[in-house]
Amino acid sequence: MEVILKQDIQTIGHKNDIVIVKNGYGRNYLIPKGLATLATPSAKKMHAENLKQRAHKEEKIKNEALDVAKKLEKVTISIGAKTSSTGKIFGSVNTIQIAEALKAKGYEIERKNISIPEDQVKEVGKYNATVKLHKEVKVEIEFEIVAE
């Protein structure tokens, strides 16, 4: 079954993508929840026209994301955490703390757009996180965990 996505769905695709899903998933979940519409020929034609109109706006947004990405590459943030004498931190550092540290530096990024490759950061040291600014623009930022 072909559907047009109305919003980003992490395992399937991005907003306005035409994707093929299993019939039951589309009919029983995506369409009733308002996450997608059925991709009929008339819907595809309207979708194509909408995409033409949005192409210019998307290019502008992508260029802004690229500018922010260039600035973010140079940013190093440090996050303070309570630690034991061996260097292990109590709890773990997550995307919320990284988003708050970026906000303090002047970058407004939602925590859902930040991912940490390691399962959980539980020791003092330097790590990398991936920030998704646009569906085609991702940037690696470096953050350091320091003892408070």
- Residue 17 vs residues 10, 12, 94, 124, 135: alpha-carbon distances, Å: 12, 9, 30, 41, 12
Do 41 and 99 belong to one domain? no
pLDDT confidence bin for 21, thresholds 50/70/90: very high
Co-location of 85 and 134 in the same domain: yes
Same-domain status, 51 and 77: no
Residue 97: domain span: 69-147
The domain spanning residue 84 has which CATH number? Answer: 3.10.430.100
Separation of alpha carbons 96 and 143, rounded Å:
13
Q: Does position 16 have pLDDT exceeding 70, yes or no?
A: yes
57 lies in the same domain as 77: no
38 and 77 co-located in one domain: no
Q: pTM for this structure?
A: 0.63
Arithmetic mean of pLDDT, 9-24 = 91
Q: What does the alpha-carbon distance between residue 96 and residue 114 come to, in Å, rounded to a whole number?
A: 9
Could you report the per-residue pLDDT of 25-55, keeping only the tens digit for each?
A: 999 999 999 999 999 999 999 999 888 888 8
pLDDT at 68: 87
CA Rg, the chain, in Å? 20
Domain boundary among 15, 42, 62: 62
